[in-house]
Every structure is written in structure tokens, then in C-alpha cells.
Structure 1
């Protein structure tokens, strides 16, 4: 004998409806600030940065799915409610309102998912490590790789009893001003509009993701702009990571021979004493107390 199975849920479905978080509550959730380690199995630094960004995007999309799409699926279908509860919904909200709001919640996730995947695709098309982590996501966490400075860090150093202010700025990229972000523009403004002495740091190893040729072009552009704004400025060049193999090191040192230049290694301490002496000399020769800009 065939038996009819009921598709209606038990009475009390309206008392078990899931909680829908507000936009402000979602923004305050901890997963936005969650960090993620780089994969140590990927040798190329650019691919490693892209992999990190992609995993962050997918992790956050998964969390967003649980608070949007998954919540919408937890709402019982109107046709499966107890007849009395179905009437309560229809009389309270009106015909079709309940279904429209659930669909809206699902569309929210679809929009978020498409936006996240768009950023992920753009990230995969970028060529440098700096661009890979500067893809427009406010939640990107920076790990132990180049371009870790995300803001301008200020400090002081005393030379012969005089206090000089020091600023550490994020690495700039050789690109037009209109494509530079706010921190890059602030760093350029500091060079042009203050009396700071400037130290430009090169990485000839290529591990930063920016070719040495682009670093030279950036240095020449900045020095020309500073010279036009402040003809009497102080400038030194610093070549870092000289303990690591580099095909560009010799040519870079020859290229910078005409200006004060220091070759250093933070790993072996080579050249650091000479660099310290050079910085102190620049500071004492400077007529201002704005200090040394790195």
C-alpha cells in the first residue's frame, strides 16, 4: 500500500529562522583581519604573492558565503511551512515578499563572489609582487616579503646631541602619478615639499619583483623632480643585499659612481658602518632638522 509523505515541516518553523547579520556586523567580523602564511613551496616571489592573495580572497568568500548564501538556504520554503505559519507570513509581509528577501540575500553573495573573483583574476594578471598585494582589497595582510611597509613610519635619531626626524616610506613603483596610491603620493610630496635629505635604496637581486632597470628609472625621475623643487637637496644612493648573487650589481655600482653611494648587506653587516657615517655626515651638513628620508 502506497503512503503519502508530507512535505510540510513541523510546526514552529518561524521560531527557528536563522539570524541575518547586518552589513555593519559583517564588517566587524574577525575573518576580515585573519592572516595567512605564504606557501614556502613556491619559489618565485611574484607567484607566491599571487597565491597568497588568491587564498585570502577564497577564504573570505567562504566566510561570506556562510553569513549570506548559506543563511538564505536555512530559511524554510514557504510551501513547506505549516499552513498556519504560511498564512502568518503572507498576511504579515504580503504576497511574494518573503521569497524576494531570501533571493536578495542570495544575490548579495553572488555580487560579493563575482567581485572577489574579479580581484583574483586581476591579481593573476599583475607582473610584480607589489602590484599583486596592492589589488584594492583593504583586508590584504602583508607577510615576510618585500614591500612590507604600508604607511610612513616616523622616528628620531640623535647626532652630536641634535635630534633629526627620520621617515621610512613604502617602496615606490615606476609609474605615472595618476596610477600611484595615496601613500606613494605622500612619499613623493615629502621629498618635494620638505627639506628632507633623501636616501634611495636599490635591490639589485630582483627579489622585490621590480627590475633593476625600473628602479634606476624611478630613481632618476625622483631625483629630477626633487632637484627642480629643491636644488640644494641632499641625496645618497644605497645598494642593498650585496651578499646575494646579482647580475646587475656591478653595472649598478658603475651607474651610480658619480653620486654618494653605499653598498650594504644587512645579513653580513658589510658596509653598514660606512653607511652610518655617511648618513651622519649628510645630517650634519644639512641646514634643516627634517632629517633623512629613506
Structure 2
């Protein structure tokens, strides 16, 4: 497994086929390198044509090899990032594209060596130039054959590089719930530094990630998932469900935030429905947090209703006011106990 953050961070975005051809040819045909003023003209012609082939070959193969070598081993990826790779690009498609780039590099090197050998064996300057043109034509043809694969990588690699840096070796707390229930406020209160925002498939706002040092367990990462865990899974398409399912690979727990005041814009019934959906289909061990207890006096009926619902089903909960800070110490103690026990989502 790769324990480092985003394993695609150092993946190289390939040049377009057109740019690669242009750069390599310009290098090969720029002002000739200094040669002996006196010497065998035949040797000068031969060195010039061989040099052009080698410069083009070295420029192209070095760029292609860097693309392949910079990409992490797919087999060694953590399941979380492997799932995201499959969502964004497709594992099989990436393997095929990287394989095509590697194939082109090896074939270009082999063809280049063959033509260099043939040029060394001829004594005719015109034949040398002809062989060089033939070699460069074949090299160009090979590059054009992998244009679809190169264009595919040019589109997908930047998206993979932008994936969030999630440390797979430390506990994770994911905050879920309907929009405007207080998730971002809670995240800011539980973490010690300003949370960072990172792109994530099928979310318009990305993941919001913060951290906190906790006694006995060390660093814990907290993640808010706007646009991801805030509506029923039954309303998602297959790829969106895969983006949600990827979260199951994170080591930690889910907090589900209820807002009995319904000032979030969603009824208590809708919030309960989403909670049951996530519990049944994603994570049975969800820590329920009832927010906005500072406003209970104005919404006593709804607070009574959610307590009765949870009690009837034997579901423990923590009551807080994220805005006022009420109950956060008890919530942190509960989280510490949960992550210390190594519970999985």
C-alpha cells in the first residue's frame, strides 16, 4: 500500500503529440554543433544525420518514459485512490494508455538504432539523408498512432493530480448530513488549523479537510463532504455511488449531523431518511450528533421527536451546539474512544 498523500501528485502530464514532434525536430535541426573544419566530408555528413535521429529519439523517448515512470503502480495503490482512479479515468483505460506510451518509446528506440546502423554502412550522402527522412517519418507515424492515448492522459492526469491529500495511515472522521445543518461550522471547531479544500469527483465544492492532534491516537483528519453525503444514495447514478463507496476505504467513522430546528431547509423526516440510507448502505457504525441544542426552546417538539426516534432504535447520540461550542468536549471524547477502537466505516 502507498501510505503517502495523493499518489498521483507527481504524475507527469504528457506533451501533446504535435508539441513533442515540434520540440524534438527543432532541437535536431537547430544550428549544427561545431564540427572539425578539416576532415572527411563523408564522416561529417554521416555524423550529422545520425545526430539528428538520435536527438529526436532521445527527446521523444525521455519524455515518454518520464510519463510512464512518474505514474504510481496501480497494483500498489490504496483501495481508496484506486477507486477514484477508476471513477475519473478507468483502471483498464489508464493501463492501456500507459502501455501504449511505453510501447511507442521502445519501438522508436529500436527503429532509431536500426537506421543508425544502416547509415553507418552506407557511403552515399544522399542515401544517408534518405534514411534519416525515412526514420523520422516512421517515428512521427508511431507518435501519431498513440495520439488518442496521449490525449486521454493529458485530460485525466491533471484531474488525478488534483485529488485530495488524504493520509491513509491515520484515523479519519467524515462529517455527513443535509446541507446547512452545521457541518462546516463543526469542522472548523474540531480542527486546529484552517481546513483545506480539495477537488473530489461529483462534488462542486470538493472535500473540506482539517486535522487535530488527539491524545493517544495522534493526528486525526476530519472531512466534510458537501454535495456527496447530503442526499439519498437512491438518487445517485452508478458513478456517483462509486465516489461515495470510495469513502468506505478510509479508516475511521462517520458523524451524521441532525438539525431538529429544520432551519437548514430540510424537514426532520428528510434528515432521518438520509441517515437511514447512509446507515443501511454505507456505514452501519455512524455516530449521531444532534446540533443546535442552543435553539431547543423554540423547537421542543422536533427535539423530542428525534430523541424518541433514536431511543426507540437504540442509537446513542451526542447533543451539541457547533455555533456556541456546547458539548464539543464530550463529542471529542466520544470520537477519541471511537477512533482508538479502530472502528471502520
TM-score tier by shorter-chain length is 0.3 to 0.5
Structure-1-length-normalised TM-score? 0.41
Higher helix share: 2
Q: TM-score, normalised by structure 2?
A: 0.35
